[in-house]
């Protein structure tokens, strides 16, 4: 018996456990201090009423013989795929219902989609970014190359460095709005990536988990708003942030029919993969998800998104007042800032916790290029965000 030795190459992910441990130790040492947590990427507001009602009604249906449902379609119920079709129509994107595959969240599909691709593929990953891309590819033993975010490119890396190094990409991860930086690619920047992927014969894996935070109408919320993307891109999205589904679990992956590579149709392959390894999202959750995409549901959800964005504005404004270099916060729930006085990201974490009782996330946890930077999250109440900013102003 041999194990998959690539698992031994993974670095232990200490980021959030170390943050939790340090925060807990701080609370114990300062029992009277109110510790404010701006470190988490999890939502804090509850499910909206329309969703709760829809899921409650679905539970009742499941309790009656006449309306009980067992296994559903692996790809998702038609009512939900059609609701998503309409949602994308609103973005000016036409999708066939069988290009939309419901899943239990973006994280699963980010890893699962790799089943379709050869182990020898070259994978391009932005640095810094959501760590699951890297770990999922290390597990499969793929070659990973990074495209670096930095202050010069506003943490929106472009393909030039890959061209200069002569790297031949097969899979390209793009996360926009980005976690952790909150940066969002423009239409013309995404067009460059689409043209580059097309030229190289590569597939873009576009993570749109935070698309709902884009309020600027000039910024694209889907890769499929970019001409040519249907021939080179897969989009992975989620209800976690738009509807507070982090604990409910529902996402979707869009695989256009046009994706033909190496003798295989990617849509058909993903369908085959899902029907073999996945038995669908629960009916109750799908009814809740359907409610999100009604007019009333979307209005209620966007009220929560708007509250997070208002918090993000407060954080960004504070950074501006303190003359701290930062990006994000306009069309994203994250503000990415340069640690003052050239502190490392963990030094700044300790400083903020000790002096202001505020918890953030050290940038080093999102990749080598995150060192020296820090993520503050808008997922909290307005009162807590205001209080945290007041305290930060007091120490910087």
CB of 375 to ligand PLP, least distance (A): 11
Compute and round to an integer the Cα radius of gyration of the chain. Answer: 21
* Contact residue for ligand PLP among 41, 157, 297, 362 (CB under 6 A): 41
* Contact residue for ligand PLP among 176, 238, 282, 304 (CB under 6 A): 238
Q: Which is nearer to ligand PLP, 251 or 363 (CB)?
A: 251
CB of 379 to ligand PLP, least distance (A): 10
Distance CA 378, CA 102 (A): 27
Question: Is there binding between residue 126 and ligand PLP (CB under 6 A)?
Answer: no
Q: CA of 182: how far to CAs of 155, 220, 243, 277, in Å?
A: 9, 14, 19, 33
* Contact residue for ligand PLP among 39, 76, 251, 363 (CB under 6 A): 251
Distance CA 203, CA 200 (A): 9
Distance CA 224, CA 238 (A): 16
Question: Is there binding between residue 221 and ligand PLP (CB under 6 A)?
Answer: no
SS3 334: strand
Question: Is there binding between residue 105 and ligand PLP (CB under 6 A)?
Answer: yes
SS3 219: coil
> Is the torsion defined by CA of 325, 186, 41, 142 positive or negative?
negative
The footprint of ligand PLP on residues 177-216 (CB under 6 A) is: 179, 207, 209
The footprint of ligand PLP on residues 281-320 (CB under 6 A) is: none
**What binding mask, one character per residue, do residues 135-174 give for ligand PLP by CB under 6 A, x or -?**
----------------------------------------
The upper half-sphere exposure of residue 298, i.e. CA atoms within 13 Å in the direction of its Cβ, equals 11
Question: Is there binding between residue 222 and ligand PLP (CB under 6 A)?
Answer: no
* Contact residue for ligand PLP among 81, 107, 326, 369 (CB under 6 A): 107
Question: Is there binding between residue 244 and ligand PLP (CB under 6 A)?
Answer: no
Distance CA 65, CA 69 (A): 9
Q: Which is nearer to ligand PLP, 107 or 287 (CB)?
A: 107
Q: Do the Cβ atoms of 111 and 132 come closer than 8 Å?
A: yes
Q: Do the Cβ atoms of 137 and 114 come closer than 8 Å?
A: yes
Distance CA 368, CA 366 (A): 7
Q: Are strands 373-377 and 334-338 parallel, antiparallel or unpaired?
A: antiparallel
Distance CA 231, CA 51 (A): 35
Q: Which is nearer to ligand PLP, 334 or 348 (CB)?
A: 334
* Contact residue for ligand PLP among 38, 54, 58, 106 (CB under 6 A): 106
CB of 104 to ligand PLP, least distance (A): 8
Q: Which is nearer to ligand PLP, 105 or 357 (CB)?
A: 105
Q: Which residues bind ligand PLP (CB under 6 A)?
A: 41, 105-107, 130, 175, 179, 207, 209, 238, 240, 246, 251
């Amino acid at each position: 018996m041999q194990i998959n030795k690539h698992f031994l190459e993974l670095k232990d992910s200490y980021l959030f456990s170390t943050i939790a441990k340090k925060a807990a130790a701080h609370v114990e040492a300062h029992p009277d201090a109110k510790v404010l947590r701006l470190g988490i990427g999890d939502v804090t507001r509850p499910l909206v009423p329309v969703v709760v009602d829809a899921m409650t009604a679905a539970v009742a249906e499941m309790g009656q013989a006449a309306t009980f449902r067992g296994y559903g379609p692996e790809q998702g119920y038609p009512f939900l795929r059609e609701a998503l079709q309409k949602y994308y129509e609103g973005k000016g994107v036409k999708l066939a219902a069988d290009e939309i595959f419901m899943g239990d969240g973006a994280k699963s599909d980010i890893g699962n989609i790799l089943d379709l691709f050869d182990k020898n593929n070259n994978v391009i990953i932005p640095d810094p970014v959501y760590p699951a891309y890297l770990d999922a590819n290390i597990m499969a033993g793929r070659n990973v190359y990074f495209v670096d975010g930095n202050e010069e490119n506003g943490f929106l890396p472009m393909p030039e460095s890959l061209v200069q190094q002569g790297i031949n990409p097969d899979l390209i991860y793009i996360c926009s709005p980005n976690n952790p930086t909150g940066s969002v690619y423009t239409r013309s920047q995404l067009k460059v990536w689409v043209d580059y992927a097309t030229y190289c014969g590569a597939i873009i894996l576009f993570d749109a988990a935070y698309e709902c935070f884009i309020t600027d109408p000039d910024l694209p919320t889907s890769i499929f708003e970019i001409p040519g993307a249907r021939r080179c891109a897969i989009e992975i999205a989620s209800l976690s942030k738009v509807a507070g589904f982090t604990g409910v679990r529902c996402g979707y992956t869009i695989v256009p029919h046009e994706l033909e590579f190496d003798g295989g149709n990617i849509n058909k392959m993903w369908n085959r993969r899902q029907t073999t390894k996945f038995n669908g999202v629960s009916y109750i959750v799908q009814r809740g998800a359907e409610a999100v995409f009604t007019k009333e549901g979307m209005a209620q959800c966007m009220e929560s998104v708007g509250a997070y964005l208002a918090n993000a504005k407060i954080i960004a404004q504070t950074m501006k007042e303190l003359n701290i270099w930062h990006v994000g916060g306009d069309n994203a729930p994250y503000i990415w800032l340069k640690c003052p006085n050239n502190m490392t990201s963990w030094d700044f974490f300790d400083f903020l916790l000790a002096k202001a009782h505020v918890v953030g996330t050290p940038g080093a946890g999102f990749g080598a290029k995150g060192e020296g930077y820090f993520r503050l999250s808008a997922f909290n109440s307005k009162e807590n965000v205001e209080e945290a900013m007041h305290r930060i102003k007091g120490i910087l």
